[in-house]
Amino acid sequence: MSYNYNKNLIKNAQTLRKNMTKEEKHLWYDFLKKLPITVHRQKNIENYIVDFYVAKTKTVIELDGAQHFEEDNEKADFVRDGKLNEMGITVLRYSNRDIHKHFYEVCCDIAEKINVNIDVAELLSERG
């Protein structure tokens, strides 16, 4: 399914793809990019730019840095997640700390939620 997008956000999405955080790079290069299904980085959906998007399962994967745990940003994320949910999109959120401390578990959780039957340990050990 294709979603409308805000054309004014295209340049910003491109910039974000070129300047991913170290946690986004780690998840992308060491796991998501290797999956047997297409995952988009910094995808523009409606008026939002999501970190990662799996169209096949209509799933957004968000990595949250410390700023996401501030009250105003938590509220904004809640509203955003609600709007994405209304479009039939599931939002998975992981903290940057999860990426640092529990990377394998995060990858297993993502694989399960997007219904990809893979050996996560084997995939993570591949050079690529």
Instruction: Enter the pTM of the model.
Output: 0.85
Residue linked to tokens 């394998």: 104
Within a domain: residue 85? yes
Within a domain: residue 61? yes
Within a domain: residue 100? yes
pLDDT at residue number 4: 60
> What total number of domains does the chain contain?
1
Record the tokens describing residue 27, joined without a space: 């998840």
Within a domain: residue 65? yes
Going from the first residue of the chain to its last (128 residues), give the mean pLDDT of each consecutive group of 10, the final group possibly shorter. Answer: 62 73 95 96 89 96 70 77 94 95 97 95 84
For residue 29, what is the domain's CATH number? 3.40.960.10
Distance (Å, rounded) from C-alpha 15 to C-alpha 34?
23
pLDDT at residue number 19: 78
Within a domain: residue 31? yes
Please give the sequence-ordered ranges of beta strands (E in DSSP) within the chain, or none if there are none. 40-45, 48-54, 59-64, 90-95
Within a domain: residue 2? no
Within a domain: residue 1? no
Within a domain: residue 44? yes
The domain in which residue 81 lies consists of 7-125
> How many Cα atoms are found within 13 Å in the side-chain-facing hemisphere of 64?
17
